Amino acid sequence: MSDQVAQLFEERLARYQATIALEPTDRMIVAGSGSNYFAEIYAGYSRQEIMYDMNKWIAAESKFAEDFPEIDLLRAGRIWGPMFESVGFKLYKLPGRDISLDTDFQFVEGEWMKADEYDVLINNPVEFMMEYRLPRVLGEFKEKGSVRSYMAFLKGGMAFALMGQLMREKALNLEKKYGIPQPFQGAMLTPFDALADGYRGLQGIMIDLFERPDKVLAACEALIPDLVNCAVAVADPLKRYPIFMPLHRGNHPFLSPRQFETFYWPSLYKVISLLIEAGYTVRAYLEGDWTPNWHHWNKFPKGKILCDVDNKADIAKAKKEIGGTVCLAGGIPDRMFIFGTPEEIRARVKELCETAGKDGGLILNGGCAIPYLTKPENFRAFIDATLEYGRYDDTIKPKLKKPPATPAGGPVLGHPPRVITPWEVRLQELGGVMGDEKMIKDVWEMLERRAFVWLHFWDW
Amino acid sequence: MAALSELTQALMDLRKEDVISAVEDLLKKQTPPLEIVKALNEGMIKVGDRFAAGDYFISELIYSGHIMKDAMIRLDPLFEQTGAGDAGEKVVIGTVQGDIHDIGKNIVTMLIKNAGFNVIDLGVDVSAERFVASLKETGAQALALSCLLNVAIPAMKNVVEALRAAGIRDKVKVIVGGQPIDEEVCKYVGADYYGTDAPAGLRICRQIYGAG
């Protein structure tokens, strides 16, 4: 990597970090989307090719970075098909497999946990996964104990390791060749969404709110340490990038304000607070309309969170109501990228730069993403107009944030990352070791912890 | 009858146990099942009204459906297969091709069904051809198209074009709804109406059939 590219990377990352921290910057971030769907297909590959062929995925990102060299962040594409194939994961319909190759992959909501399984989820999450939920969501694990089910776990583990490598390669390609940082690294669902999206399904969770509210609360509480530990395990070890949290059922009008405050908010507040205390920032997608619920975000410390505001909500109102605490992204309706003209995009960017974005703390974006069907000329106008109107002060040069020290004992005190078989059990089986026990114990626990993260990988 | 209005009220207030015991009580007292269903429907309409007014949320709407279903388990066996449920003005509804999301569609379906419409729900990922075939078969004058993804917008346009090609465009009013839908998308698609929330879907259906 040339020094110039390294410098560019550092400038961009520092600008992104300062923007999230609500500190002064020289200018607005250009195309600072967390999810750039347009970039995924811009190079001409089908959705299936991007999802299944990592080389094409990397080539698509390279092509995008070359044709739009001004962009400050890029994450194109989201999931790697082979990971899902390895175990026959049933929660997604994939392009080229279940749906046409030019359609988006889509989430399949269902009742993957029964109403009477709360206690086992709360008291014994590993049993819950292995005995109840995974046989339902992993098609290859349907017949536990069969040769095919053993192979599924083997393939799934290999795919998980491979995916980690490939994602790293993809990020390094953008960093080293184009000086482009990632918008986030690592992802998690808030406990209520994990329960609602991936476990009980919409019908189930809504009924539970009325019929077994205490169980819902206890399950959200019980999920906190594991979900936080799993998110941190795949987040950027240097803590340069935020951790991604797509937020779903806090979206109005799913829950009443009272239900939101009772069931959704407490565990969301706790997980984000734990991540912040552990030195991370968070990029949360407020999917749908969060207007009646977003005032709660003012309870967080200033400058630690970036919230993407969706098409349904008003960015100016968000800026007024929570912009003093969190950085915001959004403001350009998806349809303007798709159906609008470059002139309309320019006018909208100019307006946002002069209003909601005039004092910083705003990243221009579509509704939580740049849409697939964006016209290239509109994207070009988006970049040019941001560079033209989004200037604050060229003399400001934000500095990279130093990575905060990882707190001793992990992010959740009293809850170290979970293992399935503790070292002590293994040691007893061995009847003691001849040499350095710690050396063996560390490896044992590292693999055990990764295996537990793998179990939660299938939450959504 | 006081007991029937109490049943309506219990459903409105989402008191499941009271609803079920009231249904069982009324049946014991030889109340005609149709009267009981009417009282339940009245409750569902009131729940829909509360939702439209912003006093109830999707959680309450779904829970009311759950209570209704439980009550109907006791009532359904008492009705002969008369097709009585097919009365009412017809609305064909579905999520367009390429999109498998159904939460929004299901909420609209529930609201308009409760309001007395005969809803023909084609499900998700529905092709233009299936919409056309269903409209021809049922003679419905209202077609409600749903989507969550903005990549599904062209699929909505395809449906409108397919209606034209099939020569039935002027016989059907097309409503579009879903996350990416606004006035401009409605125009692009060539639909007659758009709704930005579920109660709007009900208002439009009533308007199409001249019911208020």
Q: How confident is the model at residue B81 (pLDDT cuts 50, 70, 90)?
A: low
CB within 8 Å: B179 and A311: yes
- C-alpha A290/C-alpha B107 separation (Å) is 19
CB within 8 Å: A210 and B100: no
Residue B96, H or E segment: none
Per CB-CB distance under 8 Å, the chain A contacts of B149 are 104, 106
Q: How confident is the model at residue B211 (pLDDT cuts 50, 70, 90)?
A: low
Residues of chain A numbered 204-223 and touching chain B (CB < 8 Å): 206-207, 209-211
Query: Does the pLDDT at position B83 exceed 60?
Result: no
Q: Are A268 and A250 in contact (CB under 8 A)?
A: yes
- A415 interfacial to chain B (CB closer than 8 Å): no
Query: Does the pLDDT at position A227 exceed 60?
Result: yes
Residues of chain A numbered 255-284 and touching chain B (CB < 8 Å): 255-256, 259
From A253, A333, A372, residue closest to B151, measured CB to CB: A372
Short-list A315, A307, A313, CA closest to A331: A315
- C-alpha A333/C-alpha A352 separation (Å) is 12
ipTM of this predicted complex? 0.92
pLDDT of residue B113: 87
pLDDT of residue A459: 96
Query: Does the pLDDT at position A302 exceed 70?
Result: yes
Q: How confident is the model at residue A426 (pLDDT cuts 50, 70, 90)?
A: very high
pLDDT of residue A28: 98
SS3 of chain A: helix, strand, coil, percent, to 5:
55, 10, 40
User: Mean pLDDT across the stretch A269-283?
Assistant: 97
CB within 8 Å: B150 and A100: no
Segment among A48-62, A317-331, B74-88 with least mean pLDDT? B74-88
- C-alpha A384/C-alpha A390 separation (Å) is 10
- A121 interfacial to chain B (CB closer than 8 Å): no
Per CB-CB distance under 8 Å, the chain B contacts of A103 are 98, 151
Structure token pair of residue A441: 């114990």
| A370 secondary structure, DSSP code | B
pLDDT of residue B86: 63
Phi, psi dihedrals of residue B93, rounded to the nearest 5°: -135, 150
pLDDT of residue A79: 86
Q: Which stretches of chain B are assigned E, i.e. beta strand?
A: 90-95, 118-121, 142-147, 173-178, 193-195
Interface test with B, best of A210, A263, A334, A372 (most B CBs within 10 A): A210
Minimum distance, in Å, between the CA of residue B138 and any CA atom of chain A: 28
Q: Are B89 and B206 in contact (CB under 8 A)?
A: no
| B91 secondary structure, DSSP code | E
pLDDT of residue A186: 94
Q: Which residue has the higher pLDDT, A304 or A106?
A: A304
pLDDT more than 90, % of chain A = 93
Q: How confident is the model at residue B101 (pLDDT cuts 50, 70, 90)?
A: confident
- C-alpha A224/C-alpha B38 separation (Å) is 45
Query: Does the pLDDT at position A368 exceed 90?
Result: yes
Segment among A364-373, A427-436, B86-95 with least mean pLDDT? B86-95
3-state secondary structure (DSSP) of residue B81:
coil
CB within 8 Å: A210 and B58: no
Q: How confident is the model at residue B2 (pLDDT cuts 50, 70, 90)?
A: low
